[in-house]
């Protein structure tokens, strides 16, 4: 379905189209902060717009991240390192973080969110310019958000954030490449 929409990276002169995903924090970021984050080299935002160009259907912002051995559970660390050749074990592994992600309310429950997540997986395996093994996200710790990310293959990085507002989660891109 997302192939019917226009995809683009926003730039400093972008005119952002109306967007409302039902979450004030995400709406505020998209409307008021996305260009500033780009200006200060903190994150890059991409949008899918309807073909008439009148509405943003979905957006995601990405930034560099890493999975640090010291910051994750030992069990998770072992799970990750089992898939990496022994000679390649590091103190941290390169990742891209989905900093913000939203789908317009008019497009909820149409699997567009999953299609965008799959798009991001392809984007960072086929156009991977610097080396990026993982996708990370600090998912809202709500049943809807957590079930969305787990249904899309994300796993918890730690159990220490179970009672926090967000949960650190990751997806190993090598599993996507090999599937």
Q: Alpha carbon 8 to chain centroid distance?
A: 16
Higher pLDDT, 149 or 1: 149
Task: Render pLDDT for 28-75 as a digit per residue (tens, 0 to 9).
Answer: 999 999 999 999 999 999 999 998 878 999 999 999 999 988 888 888
Radius of gyration of the chain from its Cα atoms, rounded to whole angstroms: 17
DSSP-based helix, strand, coil % in the chain, nearest 5: 35, 30, 35
Average pLDDT over residues 102-118: 95
DSSP alpha helix (H) spans, the chain: 24-28, 34-39, 74-81, 112-126, 143-151, 173-178
Higher pLDDT, 114 or 177: 114
Please tell me the predicted confidence (pLDDT) of residue 73.
Answer: 80
Per DSSP, the three-state class of 21 is coil
Q: How many CB atoms lie within 10 A of CB 58?
A: 23
Distance between CA atoms of 125 and 137, rounded to whole angstroms? 17
Please tell me the predicted confidence (pLDDT) of residue 23.
Answer: 95
Higher pLDDT, 74 or 96: 96
Return contacts of 165-170, CB within 8 angstroms, 24+ apart.
165/140, 165/141, 166/138, 166/139, 166/140, 166/141, 167/138, 167/139, 167/141, 168/136, 168/137, 168/138, 169/136, 169/137, 169/138, 169/139, 170/67, 170/95, 170/134, 170/135, 170/136, 170/137
Task: Render pLDDT for 115-160 as a digit per residue (tens, 0 to 9).
Answer: 999 999 999 998 777 789 999 999 999 999 999 999 999 999 999 9
Task: Render pLDDT for 13-23 as a digit per residue (tens, 0 to 9).
Answer: 999 998 999 99
Per DSSP, the three-state class of 36 is helix
Which DSSP letter does residue 10 get?
-
CATH entry, 2-178, from 3.40.1550.10, 3.40.630.30, 3.10.180.10, 3.40.50.1100: 3.40.630.30
Distance between CA atoms of 63 and 106, rounded to whole angstroms? 27
End-to-end CA distance of the chain, in Å?
21
Q: Check pLDDT > 80 for residue 110.
A: yes
Give the residue extent of every domain in the chain: 2-178
**Residue indicated by tokens 């109306």:** 18
pTM over 0.75: yes
């Amino acid at each position: 379905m997302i192939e019917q929409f226009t995809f683009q990276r926003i730039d400093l002169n972008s005119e952002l189209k109306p967007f409302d995903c039902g979450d004030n924090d995400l709406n505020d970021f998209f409307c008021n902060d996305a260009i500033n984050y780009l200006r200060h080299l903190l994150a890059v935002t991409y949008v899918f717009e309807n073909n008439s160009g009148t509405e943003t259907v979905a957006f995601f912002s990405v930034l560099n991240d890493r999975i640090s051995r010291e910051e994750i559970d030992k069990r998770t660390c072992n799970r990750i390192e089992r898939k990496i050749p022994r000679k390649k074990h590091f103190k941290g592994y390169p990742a891209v973080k989905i900093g913000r992600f939203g789908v317009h309310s008019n497009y909820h429950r149409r699997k567009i969110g999953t299609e965008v997540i799959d798009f991001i997986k392809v984007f960072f395996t086929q156009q991977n310019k610097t080396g990026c093994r993982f996708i990370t996200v600090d998912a809202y710790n709500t049943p809807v958000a957590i079930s969305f990310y787990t249904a899309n293959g994300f796993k918890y990085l730690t159990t220490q954030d179970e009672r926090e507002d967000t949960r650190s989660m990751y997806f190993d891109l090598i599993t996507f490449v090999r599937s």
